[in-house]
Structure 1
Amino acid sequence: MASDHVELKPGLETTRAQLARAFGDEEAAERASQPGIVPMRKPFKKLFVFSDPHKSKEHGYNFDGWTEGDDLGPVFDYTGTGPTKNQVLSGLNGTLLNHQEQGLELHLFISDGHVKPGGAKKQRYVGRMVVDAEDPYQERWDYDTKDNLRLVYVFRLRPVELDQTDVRPSDAVQAATKTVVLPTPPKMEKPLGKPGAKSKKTEKHSTGQTVANVPGGERIVTRREGQLVTAFEAHLEKAGHTFNGFQIRVEGEDYVLTPDLYDATDHVLYEAKGLTTRPNVRMAIGQLADYRRHLDNADTLRVAVLLPSEPTSDVKALLKAEDVALVYRTADGFAGWPLAPEEA
C-alpha cells in the first residue's frame, strides 16, 4: 500500500524512491529505478516523467527543456526513453504518447542536484502536463550509449495550468555550444537496416488532415507536407536515388533545423510545402537559403522547392529569379524532376 504522503506542489523537492512509496503499488520499489517514464496506475492513475537534461551533454545533444512555445503557451520538450538503438512509440513511450486515452495524469519532474547523505538524485516537481494534441512529438537524431546514431522521439508537453507550473529560465533547452550538421537516414516505412527501407509512420503523418482538440478550440492540422515528402521519397527510390536528411544545431541557439530531404545522387536539397501559395513558397526560399549555409559543398549544392501542385506563373518567375528549382506533384508523378541541366 502507498505510504509516506507526498503533496505534489510546484517546486517540491523529492526523490524517485519517495514518490514510489507514496504513489506506487507492490512493484513501486522496482519502478523507482526504471527509465524516466514511470506509470503508477494503481490506485492513483498517474504517469511520472523524469527529465535529466545533464545526461545527454556528454554527446553534445540536449533536447530536454522549455522552449519558446507558441500562441498557446510554453512547451517542455522531453526526450523519450530507450538508451540504445532507435526509440519506438510503444512500451513506455507509447504510454506517454497515449496517457490521456489510458486515463493517466501526467506529472513532470526535473533532476536538480543530489540528496545528502546517500547521493540519490533530487527531483523537483514542475507540474501537471499533457502531451500536445496537435503536434505530440518530433523526430530527432542522437547517439546512443554505444555511440551509434539512432532516432529519438522528443515529446512536446504543455502545462495543464500555467499558474500551477514551476517554469524556470534555467530549465530552458540549452543552446548548442557549436554548430553541428548531422546527416540522418531517410524517413523510413520499415525498420532501419534494410536498403531502401522506410520506418513506419504514425497516423499523425498518414492522413490528409485531422481535427485536434487543443486549448483555444478546434484547429485544423494539415498533414499534406508529410504525405508529399513520402511520395517523393518513393519516387526517388524507384529511380535508384540515394536520399537522406540533415539535423542542424547552430552554435548559440537551441533551435534544431531539419531540412525536408536531400537527394545525394543529384546533390539537391528540397524544401517541401503542403500548400502551393506565395507565402509558403517565400518561406521555403528563405529556409533553403538558411540551410545551405551550413552544408558542405554549398557552392555546388542545388536547391529546390517541392509543391503539391503547379504554382502561378509569377511564383515560378520568383523561384527562377532566386535560382531555386521547382518540382511539383502531378497526376502521374512529379513535374520538373529530374532537374533540367541548365538548373545545375
Structure 2
Amino acid sequence: MPSLDLTPGLITTREKVAEVYGGSVFSGGIVPAKASKKVFVYSDPAVGEKHGYTFDGWAESDEFGLLYLYTGAGGTGDQQLKRGNKVLLDTLDEAWQADGGQVHLFVANGKVPGKAEVSQRYVGQVVLDAAQPYEERKAPGSDDVMRWVFVFRLRPAEGATLALTEADEVPPATQTTVLDLPKATGAPKLPKAPAAPKTPKVAISTGAKDKPTEQHVTAQTVSHHAGGQRAVMRREGQLVAEFEKCLEAAGHEFKSFQITVKGESGALVPDLYDATENVLYEAKGAATRSNVRMAIGQLLDYRRHIKVPPGLRLAVLLPTPPTADVRDLLAAQNIAMVTQTESGFAGFPVS
C-alpha cells in the first residue's frame, strides 16, 4: 500500500496525496478526503495574480501569531459558502475535530518536470482562526467583474510547525487604492468554535519556492493565543451585526471600504461607514482603554485615505460605556461614542 509522510517541506503532487489519503485530484483548491478525515487546502497565489489580486500567502503576524490567508473557491460572481468553502468552514466543528479531523495546507511549487502537473509543497497542519475564520473582500473574477470573495484565515494547528519561505509572504501593494464596499456584512453564522491552539510555531526559511532543501530551519516564532481576546473579537462581530440592524431600521445607507496601501500587504477595512449621516465607525468588543485607544488610531488612519463628503465625523461603537477618563479622551479627539443598551444604542444618531 502506498505511503506518504506529511512532513513540512515535502514536495509532492495532488495525485500522490489522493492516492494515499483519498479525495479528488480535480475538485478545486479545497479537497475533502472523508476516509482519512482530512481536508487538503491547495494554495496557488499565481491564480489570483492573473486576475489582479494577491490575497493568498503568509500575512503579517498579529497578536495571535502567524496568519496564512487563502482565497476561497469560485472564479466568477460572489463566492458562496457552498461546496469547498463550506467544507473548509465546517472544519471548525468540535465534533469533527474530536473525531480526528485535520486540515493540511499545500502551496503550488511550479510544474512537475516534463509534465503539465503542478507540484505541491506541504506547509503543514493548520486550523481556521476560531474567532474570525474569514474576511470578505472585493476582487476581480476570471471575467474581470468585481465580486465578493472569501479570504480564509489559517493558523498553525496546535503543536504544528509550518514550513514557510519568504517567497510565501503576501506581496506588498504597488499602489494605494480605496474600494467602496457597498454592503457591510455582519458576523457570520459559524459552527461552535474549538479552543484556540496553545503554542503554534512556524519555521521560516529564506529559500526560494523551488529549493525544498532550504525549507527546514530552526528560527521559530511562538504565539500564545489568548482566549479572552478571541471572545472580545467575537463580541465585536456581534456588536457590528446588531448595529447594522439598527441602521437598517433607521433607513440609513451604510457600507465600508477596502484600503490597500502602497508598499504594504493586506488590506485595511473599517467596520462601518454610515453614508446617510457621514459617520465612520470603529467597533470594539470591550470598552477598555487599550481598545478605545486602538480604535482612535484606526479611525485617524482610515480618515486619511477615504474619499467622502466634507464634514466626516468619527465614532467608536462599544458594548458598554468606558470609564469617565476614556470618555474625556474621546471628547478631546472630537470622536463620538455609541454604546449598546438593552433597547438599542445610546448616542445614535451621532449629534
The TM tier, using the shorter chain, reads 0.7 to 0.9
Distance change in 2, residues 1:130/1:279 (3 Å): closer
- Using the TM superposition, name which of 271-280 and 98-107 deviates more: 98-107
Partner residue of 1:172 out of 169, 176, 184:
169
Question: Deviation per CA, 1:71-129, whole angstroms, max 9, x where unpaired?
Answer: 65422222221222332334222222233643433221111211232222121121222
Distance change in 2, residues 1:130/1:331 (3 Å): closer
8 A Cα contact 2:184 2:254, kept in partner: no
8 A Cα contact 2:184 2:272, kept in partner: no
Question: Deviation per CA, 1:148-206, whole angstroms, max 9, x where unpaired?
Answer: 333322222233477753221110112111112111133347xxxxxxxxxx83147xx
Long gaps (5+) in structure 1:
190-199
Q: CA deviation at 1:254?
A: 1.2
Residue equivalent to 1:192:
none
Distance change in 2, residues 1:160/1:261 (3 Å): closer
Question: Deviation per CA, 1:40-84, whole angstroms, max 9, x where unpaired?
Answer: 223x33322110011111333222111233465422222221222
Please give the TM-score of this superposition, normalised by the length of structure 2.
Answer: 0.80
- SS class of match (2:121): strand
Question: Deviation per CA, 1:197-250, whole angstroms, max 9, x where unpaired?
Answer: xxx83147xx9xx88343158723133222222222112212211111111111
Indicate the RMSD between aligned Cα atoms, in angstroms: 2.7
- 1:56-205 matches, within 5 Å, as 56-70=48-62, 73-99=65-91, 101-102=95-96, 103-160=100-157, 164-188=161-185, 201-203=188-190
Residue equivalent to 2:319:
308
The separation in 2 between residues aligned to 1:163 and 1:130, in whole angstroms, is 10
Alignment of 1:330 onto 2:318: no
Look up the equivalent residue of 2:10 and give its one-letter code.
L
Distance change in 2, residues 1:328/1:62 (3 Å): same
Residue equivalent to 2:5:
7
Partner residue of 2:31 out of 29, 38, 45:
38
Residue equivalent to 1:196:
none
8 A Cα contact 1:243 1:265, kept in partner: yes
- Using the TM superposition, name which of 93-102 and 224-233 deviates more: 93-102
Distance change in 2, residues 1:324/1:115 (3 Å): same
Long gaps (5+) in structure 2:
200-224
- Using the TM superposition, name which of 212-221 and 79-88 deviates more: 212-221
Partner residue of 2:14 out of 7, 11, 16:
16
8 A Cα contact 2:126 2:157, kept in partner: yes
Partner residue of 1:219 out of 221, 227, 234:
227
Alignment of 1:53 onto 2:51: no
8 A Cα contact 2:56 2:170, kept in partner: yes
Question: Deviation per CA, 1:9-63, whole angstroms, max 9, x where unpaired?
Answer: 3222222233333333xxx6xx212210112223x33322110011111333222
Percent of matched pairs sharing the same residue: 47
8 A Cα contact 2:256 2:273, kept in partner: yes
- SS class of match (1:309): coil
8 A Cα contact 2:126 2:160, kept in partner: no
8 A Cα contact 2:103 2:127, kept in partner: yes
The separation in 2 between residues aligned to 1:19 and 1:276, in whole angstroms, is 48
8 A Cα contact 1:72 1:215, kept in partner: no
Higher relative contact order (CA 8 A, sep 6+): 2
Q: CA deviation at 1:298?
A: 7.0
- SS class of match (1:81): coil
